[in-house]
Amino acid sequence: MPDVAVVGSCMIDLITYSSRLPKPGETLLGLKFEKGFGGKGANQCVTAARLGASTVLVSSLGSDSNGQEYLKKLEEENINTAHIKTQENIHTGVAQITVTSSGENSIIIVQGSNLCLSGENVIEAKKHICSSKVLLCQFEVPLLATLEALRVYQGHGTSIVNGAPAVNNVDPDILRLADIFCVNETEAELMTGMKDLSISTAQQAVDKFFSLGCNTIIITFGAQGAIHASSKNKTAIHTPSETVKAVDTTGAGDAFLGALAYYISNHPGLSLQECIKRSNKIAAQSVTKLGTQTSFPSRKELPSELF
């Protein structure tokens, strides 16, 4: 019986480092190349697993070498891969990332096999999904798969939807079915139409999210931490993050969400604010290291008071 079921994406990150971005039509000599494991679904699942949650990932890989490598990696992370489908004749999702010496980046995502994740795949995984204490979804797989997961899971535990990458018009059923809806500042601005959203104007955004049909809402604000408001009193409460020396904030949101799923499933006695406080600490820890999954801490690296 898993603590956390994630229905989401797996992407291989192909990261090229260069002095600058190429102009249209230009070929540049790069400085360095790295291949990494990414995709919001897998990232969040890996975080929860490293903190000690038993996890199952419902996802879709291609039948290429990237897909085979990813499956092996997920098994090494102790993630249940029984519901990872290998799709024939399609490549594993890739994110082609260019990072310049000045820290600028450009990213092209080709979803590939992630687009094959279907409602049927979710139904096949129903037993695992419904026996989990937390269901975690994002917006990198087809909407129908996410909706099916939220529908079958209703009444079985806490569902969390991370509204990322940013979407303009989120299906109202998603907002209604998610017990917790979590976005970052930029995603919140797009969804609410607010400009220059800040902690001090967060109540306005929260009110808008409630009018859209959300239950509990969380907005993350990078180094400033997160605000949340529950459907009960609808008041935005700020939980600051840790002050750390940030070296790479890629994947901070995924570390936060994976940690949140861990705390809600494994520490049912904690208040939501305490779960957020501890998730801030896990995410803050991740920004002190380079990379995405490589920066997510495991339980043995963390102070015992977090558990």
Mind telling me the catalytic residues?
Answer: 254
Report if residue 221 touches ligand ADP, rule: CB under 6 A: yes
For residue 242, state whether it binds ligand ADP (rule: CB under 6 A): yes
Q: Indicate whether 144 belongs to the interface with ligand ADP (CB under 6 A).
A: no
Instruction: Give the DSSP H or E segment for 272.
Output: helix 272-286
Asked whether position 184 contacts ligand ADP by CB under 6 A, the answer is yes
Among the listed residues 252, 261, 264, 272, the single contact to ligand ADP using CB under 6 A:
252
> Of 10-18, 80-88, 166-174, 215-223, which segment contacts ligand ADP by CB under 6 A?
215-223
Q: By Cβ distance, which residue is nearest to ligand ADP?
A: 253
Of 87-95, 192-200, 261-269, 277-285, which segment contacts ligand ADP by CB under 6 A?
Answer: 277-285
Stretch touching ligand ADP by CB under 6 A, among 76-84, 195-203, 260-268, 283-291: 283-291
Q: Is the separation of the CB atoms in 95 and 14 below 8 Å?
A: yes
Per-residue exposure over 34-62, b if at least 16 CB sit within 10 Å of its own CB, e if not: eebbbbbbbbbbbbbbbbebbbbbbbbbb
Residue 239 — φ and ψ, nearest 5°? -120, 105
Q: Which is nearer to ligand ADP, 244 or 306 (CB)?
A: 244
Residue 24 to residue 82: CA distance in whole angstroms: 43
283 binds ligand ADP (CB under 6 A): yes
Q: Does residue 253 touch ligand ADP according to CB under 6 A? A: yes
Of residues 202, 301, 296, the one with CA closest to residue 256: 296
Residues in the chain: 307
Indicate which single residue of 220, 266, 293, 295 sits in contact with ligand ADP (rule: CB under 6 A).
220
DSSP 200: G
Q: Least distance (Å) from ligand ADP to the CB of residue 292? A: 10
Tokens 């803050």 found at: 284
Q: Where are the alpha helices (DSSP H) in 93-221?
A: 119-124, 126-130, 143-153, 172-177, 185-192, 202-211
Q: Which residues bind ligand ADP (CB under 6 A)?
A: 184, 220-223, 225-226, 241-242, 244, 246, 249, 252-253, 256, 280, 283-284, 287
